[in-house]
Amino acid sequence: MTKHIKISDFLKQHLQGEHGVALNAILSDVVDACKKIAVAIDKGAVAGNMGSLGSENVQGEVQKALDVITNDIFVEACQRSGYVAGMVSEELVDVIDVADEHKKNGDYLLMFDPLDGSSNVNVNISVGTIFSILKSASKKPDLADYLQSGAAQICAGYALYGTSTMLVFTTGNGVNGFTLDADSNEFLLTHPNMQIAKETQEFAINMSNYRFWREPVQRYIDECLQGEEGDRKKDFNMRWVASMVAEVHRILVRGGVFMYPTDTKSRSGKLRLMYEANPMSFIVEQAGGASTTGSQRILEVQPSGIHQRVPVMMGCKSEIDRIAAYHQVTAKRK
């Protein structure tokens, strides 16, 4: 039987340098939070927590009970290390200023989506948690401290609550995936040095929005749909889960591209830059892939707000380069 390294041992061995001690402590809290969220999701139907609350979050999305429950779990758990000075959550309008007694060494900022894909909980499809860690310029951060580009991230990761619970993260030295062992309640290293396949025949996009897309996206999807008879000379498969974590995890494991482009309905894009697009782009790039808004590398976008939205296209580098080139061609004609 293969012996897998525990995530606690992995963190001690691999987190060195300027941020080593802090990241070890913060990630240990994230690990605890994700374990508790996994339990809350498993018990959701039995506890009667699968329904909607009737309220909306800052995004204008109807909140489910589990959105609030998972947010509370994450906020509470991630104050324990003493290194987090403030947080941003998809579920809350304003930043969370961590109390002084909980941030003795508070030089870091934590941004997160506590329950990505929550529309799937009622139908028992994979959901997740996404997080991003930045260095703060102050132990009493103001809004400007949060508005750093994705390139400034020192850690990003996600938890996937599916057929098994996984935690995948990067600190800028590759991507590693850990699976929660139910017997020991420990995350064990099962997917070391994850890499995105250099070639793919799979894409993920919500085809119902085809008529609203801009020309470069329609061109790319048309080529995929034409298959062997088209210019690409190969058939493609399409997938769509409506959970960013599940989509990106599939790309890390078996390749592909994930697209949530801008369109005539949502001109600024749908996904949030700070706690969805940026952390996932960091992970994808560390795994050998690429990400773009169509006109710009996502990690180079300068944020204008903590809940800013952007178009997102990420995955296999050769395909993302092609999509970006199509956007450039269209832009030159205008």
90 is in an annotated binding site: yes
67 is in an annotated binding site: no
150 is in an annotated binding site: no
124 is in an annotated binding site: no
116 is in an annotated binding site: yes
48 is in an annotated binding site: no
184 is in an annotated binding site: no
The tokens for 157 are 């990761």
149 is in an annotated binding site: no
**Runs of H (alpha helix) within the chain:** 7-14, 20-42, 44-47, 65-77, 143-146, 215-226, 244-254, 278-286, 317-333
For the range 36-44, what are the long-range contacts, defined as Cβ-Cβ under 8 Å and sequence gap of 24 or more? Answer: 36/73, 36/77, 37/70, 37/73, 37/74, 37/114, 37/115, 37/129, 37/159, 37/161, 38/159, 38/161, 38/165, 38/180, 40/66, 40/69, 40/70, 40/73, 41/66, 41/70, 41/121, 41/127, 41/161, 44/121
Local structure of 266: helix, strand or coil: coil
294 is in an annotated binding site: no
291 is in an annotated binding site: no
Q: Which residues fall in the annotated binding site for Mg(2+)?
A: 90, 113, 115-116, 276
Q: Which residues fall in the annotated binding site?
A: 90, 113, 115-119, 206, 270, 276
Q: Which residues fall in the annotated binding site for substrate?
A: 116-119, 206, 270
